[in-house]
Amino acid sequence: MNDTPQSALRELRARAPNAHPRVGVVLGSGWKGLTEHVADAIRVPYADLEGFPRTSVQGHGGEVLLGRIGKQRVAVLSGRKHTYEQGDVRAMRTPLLTLKELGCEILVQTNAAGSLDPKMKPGSLMLLADHINLSQQSPLVGEGGDCFVDMVDAYDPGLRKKALAVAKRAKAKLHQGVYLWCLGPQFETVAEIRMYRKLGAHAVGMSTVPETIFARHFGMRVLALSLMTNMAAGMSAEKLSHAHTLEQAKLAGERASRLLADVIKEV
């Protein structure tokens, strides 16, 4: 499938003819506050864009914002479609290819995750240094062309270095670690978490990896951050639920979004 999302591109260009974004952003749970940092924003609902998903998960918006964060021109996807919603690992193909066709060279991703590291308490931020695709599902199946994408340094070392420098100046703690993708939507068992820790994972979540694979296939550099909303199963006494995830994300979301805005200005 080498088709480009022409209908969505025409609609976005018609509504924002002067938008030439360099950085694309995907907002996960807890990160919606970044939209408040987008200046001169032109908002386009996913429903008006052919091939864009209808998000069904609470905490995820469903619109594109075209504008600026500082001097950086951005295209922000407020909300994503998860593989667990309908079993479609390719659900974010059209939105990501649209970002690429609009001119985005960099994809910045965000998510909410469970911490596997006792040092990363709820509210902590982690920069993804690598990931583990536990489900071994690939959005590139059936894509056509050269799908043998090199995933070494999938999360760009240069972008990570800049993000760490921004966090250091802001005196904000930014961990680095490995993110493990589970299909979901159920949370993990205690035994599974013990295994994931032995595999070398530092955080676990239900998104991000398919989008990273697509972005690398499309030639985009990737930076990704996780907001820890809970300790993983068996690591604390807290009861896990999506409502709990949203509650914890809301508590730390403003701080996380402010740091993210500062990072985007400099990537």
Q: According to the model, what pLDDT value does residue 3 have?
A: 56
| pLDDT score recorded for residue 254 | 85
Q: Catalytic positions, please?
A: 29, 60, 82, 84-85, 112, 206-207, 230, 242
Which residue, among 79, 62, 81, 65, has the nearest Cα to 23 in the 3D structure?
65
**Residue-level pLDDT, tens digit, the chain, 267 residues:** 445 688 999 999 999 999 999 999 999 988 999 999 999 999 999 999 999 988 765 544 689 999 999 999 999 999 999 999 999 999 999 999 999 999 999 999 999 999 999 999 999 999 999 999 999 999 999 888 889 999 999 999 999 999 999 999 999 999 999 999 999 999 999 999 999 999 999 999 999 999 999 999 999 999 999 999 999 988 876 775 667 666 766 667 788 999 999 999 999
| Residue 122 included in any domain | yes
Contacts of 97 (CB under 8 A, 6+ apart): 4, 5, 214, 218
Q: Is 1 inside any structural domain?
A: no
pLDDT value of position 244: 63
- Split into its structural domains, the chain has a count of 1
Q: Which residue has the tokens 């979004």?
A: 257
Pairing label, strands 203-205, 106-115: antiparallel
What domain range is 20 assigned to?
A: 6-266
Name the DSSP letter for residue 233: T
Sign of the Cα torsion 154, 58, 241, 191 reads negative
Q: What is the pTM of this model?
A: 0.92
Residue 120 within any structural domain of the chain: yes
Q: Which residues pair with 65 in a beta bridge?
A: 43, 76
Angle at which helix 93-102 crosses helix 209-217, to 10 degrees, equals 40
Give the per-residue pLDDT at 2: 46
Domain assignment present for residue 34? The answer is yes
Residue 141 DSSP label: T
Whether 217 maps to a domain, the answer reads yes
CATH number at residue 72: 3.40.50.1580
Asked if residue 69 belongs to a domain, the reply is yes
- Determine the pLDDT at residue 1: 44
